[in-house]
Structure 1
């Protein structure tokens, strides 16, 4: 590929010096087209799979993109319980219940301050958030 680029560049210089500007532009455009038409190199699909975010990472990104962090922190109580407290209280079997609480809101389990509902959130996204929270369970 380096040879093609160098040859094309040299040819462009020679044509510019020896002939009109239009011919040099035509050669330069043809060279650019050649470079763009080269076959792409094969991609290692296992590298793509390992670069994809885990469900827990996706859940964290969703949490960071919402208002959740205004009331919750990972390891200390704020307005609501810490995510660590939630993880220690619940198991994977409670994932649907917790996802529903995120969507509908709730009150009474952690005190009298209600959790605001997130009615526009999909159940799948709420489950990803729960997956992240439950991943914080200590030993």
Structure 2
């Protein structure tokens, strides 16, 4: 089974972010929270600088080889949002195709889906 990855944009800045008063971007704060929440959950995390969804910050992508992939956004850099992201990614990891039935979605991800991408075709 392929590994489900949570890719977190660490350059995201939500509306109202103040560069003068913040030591970290909103994305960096969310990334740290997601990384902590993902420990021991069977999913992996990575940070990238810019998922190009600036109008939807904070953004993450949920991906695994051979499965549907999703971009989610409009998260707050808060523990509850981080936990919902990880909970959804764990369900994605358990799914054969990456599709999680809506009734199983954590409440905290509902309304946050931006895009869905089909898996890449096999080269063979």
Classify the TM-score, shorter chain.
Answer: under 0.3
CA radius of gyration, larger in? 1
Q: Which has the higher helix share?
A: 1
Q: Report the TM-score, using the length of structure 2 for normalisation.
A: 0.25
Q: Which has the higher strand share?
A: 2
